[in-house]
Amino acid sequence: MVFSSSKGRQSSLESPDMVDGAGFFTHYITQALSAKDADRNNNGFVEFMELVDYVSKTVNTESAGQQTPRLSRRELFGDLAIARVQ
């Protein structure tokens, strides 16, 4: 499984507004691990596909469509909890 920060012909963007100069992708992965709105099914956990959806949508929106994260072979993966939401 590969969850990449952008599509093949796109650049992975950074912003001086992000914590420690992180790129959009890293920043929003970190944010998703504790974001209640990333837990779409409200089971108290951010599951892998919830993380992928949250990060993909947020990065695409915040970069004004210049960066689109991509999960290869999305149809092959089930869900697993990766973080508990506080």
Res 70: pLDDT:
93
Q: Which of 43, 11, 53, 5 is nearest to 27 (CA)?
A: 5
* pTM of the predicted model as reported, rounded to 2 decimal places: 0.84
Query: What is the rounded distance in angstroms from the CA atom of residue 7 to the CA atom of residue 69?
Result: 6
Instruction: Please give the Cα distance from 79 to 49 (Å, whole number).
Output: 6
Q: Average pLDDT, stretch 40-68? A: 94
Does the pLDDT of residue 26 top 80, yes or no? yes
